[in-house]
Amino acid sequence: MPAPESPSEIASDDAVIRLGLIGDNIAVSQAPRLHRLAGLQNGREVTYDRLVPRELGQDHATILADCAAQGYRGLNITYPYKEKVAALVRISDPMVRRLGAVNTVLFEPTGAEGHNTDHSGFISAYRAARGGTPPGATLLIGTGGVGRAIAFALVALDAAEIRLADHDIEKAEVLASELEAAKPGLRVTVGRDAAEISEGAEGLINATPVGMTGHPGSPLEASAITGAWAFDAVYTPVETEFLAVAQAAGLQVISGYELFIWQGVDAWKLFTGLPLDVARLRSDLAKTDPATS
């Protein structure tokens, strides 16, 4: 089997760049379009496969190993496999080890290396929308893979308080302890019911699959959607019920599409080391017909 290319080899070679996405409910994901368009900017052909375990009749670990053997440069990882894949790959970055979740895997000559561009992508998306304004007291619904990445991003953005809501209260409590250790003095509260701990929150974040294709609804009842800003990690569809209610209530909304863009930009840099014009990428994505992806 061919060995995976390194970024330096990719930058100087004309071989096809093989990428893919492991996840569920990804039929309408725009990740293939983003990376193919990034390739076009650099005159490179990119193949990008949607890899759904139940459709392939294989588990995520088998798919990961097969892609490594078949010469893929790397993979993106999405719900519900980010934490599961983290246990299967080498993680060199201390922050990614702390997150315990990966959304990007590079196949290096020395093995599979895990990265997390949800963390850096959320910081970029937030700053692009709100500049240097701190998040304030923020309610984070969902403490899974993307929730953990966003929680530590909120610490980096100097959130005054973080409230964690999750039906799995033990998982939320573990994350709370890790956040307090990362930033001594940070106020962190935990609850099973998001509405019960939402009062007075300036920021509202959905980091659950509720609202995505196949999981309709909102993670928070309309009467509890108040504050200054709201972010939904869901981007398929871009306009979720949660954000629609938040916008109608006068909150500044940040779409999950922004996280999609920025985490994709960071993943492309990891995969290839090649330059990327983000403004052009946005324009091209807006013009490209999803049916051709």
**Same domain? 201 vs 187:** yes
240: in domain: yes
Q: Is residue 2 one of the residues assigned to a domain?
A: no
- Residue-number span of the structural domain to which 267 is assigned: 7-115+260-292
Q: What is the DSSP string of the chain?
A: -PPPPPHHHHHT--S-EEEEEE-SS-TT-SHHHHHHHHHHHTT--EEEEEE-HHHHTS-HHHHHHHHHHTT--EEEE-TT-HHHHHTTSB---HHHHHHT--SEEEEETTEEEEE-HHHHHHHHHHHHHHTT----EEEEE--SHHHHHHHHHHHHTT-SEEEEE-SSHHHHHHHHHHHHHHSTT-EEEEES-TGGG-TT-SEEEE-SSTTSTTS-S-SS-GGG--SSEEEES--SSSS-HHHHHHHHTT-EEE-HHHHHHHHHHHHHHHHH-----HHHHHHHHHHS-GGG-
195-232, pLDDT tens digit by residue? 999 999 999 999 999 999 889 999 999 999 999 999 99
Residue 76 resides in a domain: yes
Same domain (yes/no): 176, 246 = yes
Q: Is the pLDDT of residue 292 over 80?
A: no
Do 46 and 149 lie in one domain? The reply is: no
For residues 151 and 209, state if they share a domain. Answer: yes
Q: Please tell me whether residues 129 and 239 are part of one structural domain.
A: yes
Q: How many domains does the chain have?
A: 2
pLDDT, tens digit (0-9, with 9 covering 90-100), for 96-125: 999 999 999 999 999 999 999 999 999 999
- How much is the pTM? 0.88
Could you report the per-residue pLDDT of 53-104, keeping only the tens digit for each? 999 999 999 999 999 999 999 999 998 999 999 999 999 999 999 999 999 9
pLDDT tens digit sequence for 22-34? 999 899 899 999 9
pLDDT tops 70 at residue 11: no
CATH number of the domain within which 174 lies: 3.40.50.720
Q: Are both 15 and 90 inside the same structural domain? A: yes
Is 100 among the domain residues?
A: yes
Residues annotated as catalytic are 82
Residues 95 and 169 in one domain: no
pLDDT score of 12: 54
